[in-house]
Amino acid sequence: MTLVSSLCIARPYILVGTRARFMLMAVLAVCMLILVLFSCRRQIRDLNQPEYCRVISTSVSSNWIKQFQQHDYKIFSQNGEDGVLLWIFANIGTIHQPPHFVEFGVQNGKQCNTRFLREHLGWQGLMMDANNGNLTINLRREMISPKNINDLLSKYETPTTIDLLSIDVDFDDYFVWKSILQANRFHARVVVIEFNYEIPPNENRVV
């Protein structure tokens, strides 16, 4: 299975994606910055920005963005998200103590983007999956859809601002994320989300 992940950082918004054809370089656009990451070598190119994202001025230097490819490695993630996420939060910090995450589509939670953060860095949060549940790691068995995602986040008392949101529900990723953004009830500083690398970044197409 080929994964392409995207990260969106609020203030400023940054998106990061993965797949083996792109090299890492940073571009700040009118709405947000999209970084395209790959499991091998990372590249960055300018992507179209969603209309619902806005760039908000920040005093944090963006020079660290150019160093993403030096920090791509996996521990428990499927690709190099572990190293990239550690690098991002080393530069932007977290707002919660302990830091808070939400990840869904994690299967049994063994191979996912938040396991290292949870087990070794003391992060806390919510995981959801359609076929698996494990209360010892706060993994809830839930069928996620664009219609119910915001109610599910409320059900499990998710903070209104989340340090990290990771979405992998196959096919519905875009619509689930769009539902969260449009409801405006929950806000994530960093978002990891899949997209189809076969579709050119300058084309506005969804399933």
**pLDDT at residue number 119:** 95
In a domain, 63, yes or no: yes
In a domain, 81, yes or no: yes
Domain that holds residue 139: 5-194
In a domain, 36, yes or no: yes
Question: Where on the phi/psi map is residue 31: left (φ > 0), alpha (ψ -120 to 50), or beta?
Answer: alpha
Cβ distance 8 to 193 under 8 Å? Answer: yes
In a domain, 204, yes or no: no
**pLDDT at residue number 8:** 43
Q: At 164, give phi and psi (nearest 5°).
A: -140, 130
In a domain, 167, yes or no: yes
DSSP state of 203: S
CA dihedral 189, 89, 109, 128 (to 10 degrees): -10
In a domain, 60, yes or no: yes
The whole model's pTM is what? 0.69
User: Rounded to 5 degrees, what angle do the CA atoms 112, 45, 31 make?
Assistant: 85
**pLDDT at residue number 86:** 93
Digit-by-digit pLDDT tens for the chain (207 residues) are 434 444 444 444 444 454 444 343 333 333 333 333 333 233 333 323 343 334 444 445 677 877 777 788 889 998 889 999 999 999 999 999 999 999 999 999 999 999 999 999 999 999 999 999 999 999 999 999 999 999 999 999 999 999 999 999 988 898 999 999 999 999 999 999 887 778 777 777 776
In a domain, 201, yes or no: no
Instruction: Count structural domains, the chain.
Output: 1
Edge-to-edge strand list for the sheet holding 5-6: 5-6, 187-194, 161-167, 100-104, 124-129, 139-141
